[in-house]
Amino acid sequence: MATRRKSTDAVLRLSSRIEVLPILHASGDMAQEVRETLIGRQFDCLAVPLPPSVESPLEEAIEELPHINLITIPEPDRDGTPVVSFVPVDPCQAVIMGIRVAIGEGIARAYIDREVTVFEPTPLAAPDPYALKRVSLAAFASAVIPSLQAPPQPGQRWDRIAWMAFRLHELELDFESILCLCSLAEWPWLREAYRIRTPYTDPERPVVLPSRYSVHTSTLYFVLGELPYVTELYERRRAEVRSDRHLSVDGIKELLLEARSRWLVARNIDTTSVANWITPQLLQRYLQYVRNLALTDRRLTPDLYTLVLAAKQMAGDEFAITLLETAKSYALHQEDQGELSWKTLSAGIGKLEFPDGVVALAKNRLEGLPLVWRSLTLRPRPTRTSSRRWALLWNPFRQCSWPPEDSRIESFTSHVREQARTIMGADLARVEKFTTSIKDGVDLRESLRHWHTRHWAQRPEGRKRMDIYVKEIPPARGNVEVVVFLFDTPADPHRYSWQATWYAEHAEESTLCFYATPFLGQFVGPGIA
């Protein structure tokens, strides 16, 4: 065990004074690894992969957590369009977590990345960091090396790696124990550049100093690594000094329960809604379905699209919308508070809108998995104003059903009739010993019942042979004419006050007599209830 630990440390150790920690950005699980490493061992310096120009505004923003800020670094315009790179001050970012812990523990911080005028991001497709619950970080980082692309030489990425290696050589002259946070995509070449002392290029001079901005609550999803609601749970567990070891999965369960509570509150306000159908059993099947969808995407934890898609398919559009709104909520972020209440920007995928209305192309310096747009159709509950307007335009003397729903009703009714006829014919089944034909199938119950009466077969070895019984089910007599469905028993006559009869319009339809809630309170569109 000690030999394995020693070999693991050797993989991540550059020298007797420097240990490198490969990290994935925008992951709460990776942020936990950084926190546990800093707290569990003695370090006197933390080296982070950010340029020195962001040190002052970044650490000021970290002091304001859990309020979310962005540190923007302007770049030269591209074809007349403003361009910026930014650092999200996200508590679930491994780099932010490292700086936050270092400030609290009194550990010196060194910003070792090379200053560049135009930042070139490095996209990375990596395994789900939830695997760190079972796999060591050294094994995790070593396993992805064959899939990493070497930085081109010459190029900005190689220049940044060479400069960081040079800065590490400088730091080990002043500090005894250094922890270096490095991107998972660059750590093998940083190790090599440190070992062979690769020649470096001096950093560029920044044109404009970085700025700090707050973020609109409605757009936090585009800058946070985890779901905003899960990020809020991380911060609450931190404030309450509670364990957040498995919060990346347990947070999904808490999100689901909170969405169900909000959904129930909205339905209780609307007295015309039907009974609650989101039961604990349905939630259990939902979680199993989400797990399977995540595995088909080659992930261990689901993303927001997977959660909302499963909610729509299993609980309906209304619950899916409630789940989506709950996942994007972050109650700890107050736009009207703090020093930057007047400097609030909106974020999107690859874009930032500043308070003066200027929209700039944006590059995330701590980018995790790439965000992409995916379409999903959700039908929200209509507003009361729209429902009232549709109710005034409704003609109660002209009603008709919707043909696709009629087909579903008739198909379900036919299935119930066939099952009823099968049950009626089951009482007429005859059982007999197998002779020459298995008829309608083997009757296992009767065969096992006579298992003890097996007789000696006329064979030299004298083994016993078991008698097999078969069943014969004659055709059922009669037909099932009327089918009665009871969906809510006992039914409240005040709740189900609408009684009507819909007569069959053609031979493939049945006459439908029913009682239900009044349709005037359930308009979903103009002329549709």
DSSP labels, 316-347: -HHHHHHHHHHHT--TT--TTSSTTTT-EEEE
Look at residue 275 in the predicted model and tell me its pLDDT.
Answer: 59
Look at residue 32 in the predicted model and tell me its pLDDT.
Answer: 94
- Rounded to the nearest 10 degrees, how much is the dihedral formed by the CA atoms of 242, 248, 250, 255? 110
**What are the DSSP calls for 353-396, one per residue?**
E-TTS-EEEEEETT--SPP--------PPPPHHHHHHHHHH--T
3-state DSSP call for residue 247?
helix
Place of tokens 């199938």: 441
| Contact status, residue 145 vs residue 314, Cβ threshold 8 Å | no
Q: Which of 23-27, 168-172, 382-386, 500-504 has the lowest mean pLDDT?
A: 382-386
In percent, how much of the chain has pLDDT > 70? 91
- List, for residues 326-360, the tens digit of each pLDDT value: 999 999 887 555 555 568 999 999 999 999 899 99
Q: Is the per-residue pLDDT at 4 higher than 60?
A: no
**Which of the four pLDDT bands, split at 50, 70 and 90, describes residue 1?**
very low
The token pair that represents 302 in the structure block: 């689901």
- List, for residues 484-500, the tens digit of each pLDDT value: 888 777 888 888 888 88
Say which residues have a Cβ less than 8 Å from residue 253's Cβ, sequence separation at least 6.
287
- List, for residues 114-147, the tens digit of each pLDDT value: 999 999 998 888 889 999 999 999 999 999 999 9
Q: Is the per-residue pLDDT at 183 higher than 80?
A: yes
**Which of the four pLDDT bands, split at 50, 70 and 90, describes residue 521?**
low
- List, for residues 239-288, the tens digit of each pLDDT value: 999 988 889 999 999 999 999 999 988 877 665 555 577 889 999 999 99
Is there a cis peptide before residue 49, judged by omega within 30 degrees of 0? no
Q: What angle do CA 487, 287, 66 make, to 5 degrees?
A: 120
Closest C-alpha to 347, from 123, 88, 93, 119 = 88
Place of tokens 């009871």: 486
- Rounded to the nearest 10 degrees, how much is the dihedral formed by the CA atoms of 477, 482, 488, 493? -150
Q: Is the per-residue pLDDT at 2 higher than 50?
A: no
Look at residue 9 in the predicted model and tell me its pLDDT.
Answer: 62
Say which residues have a Cβ less than 8 Å from residue 199's Cβ, sequence separation at least 6.
162
- N-to-C CA span, the chain: 68
Look at residue 505 in the predicted model and tell me its pLDDT.
Answer: 81
- List, for residues 81-106, the tens digit of each pLDDT value: 999 999 999 999 999 999 999 999 99
- Write the single-letter amino acid at 236: R
Residues in the chain: 529
- List, for residues 45-74, the tens digit of each pLDDT value: 999 999 999 999 999 999 999 999 999 999
Overall pTM > 0.85:
no
Look at residue 70 in the predicted model and tell me its pLDDT.
Answer: 94
Look at residue 191 in the predicted model and tell me its pLDDT.
Answer: 93
Closest C-alpha to 61, from 226, 209, 215 = 215
Q: Is the per-residue pLDDT at 171 higher than 70?
A: yes
Q: How far is the C-alpha of 464 from the C-alpha of 457, rounded, in Å?
A: 6
Look at residue 389 in the predicted model and tell me its pLDDT.
Answer: 81
Beta-strand pair 430-433/469-472 = antiparallel
| Contact status, residue 482 vs residue 476, Cβ threshold 8 Å | no
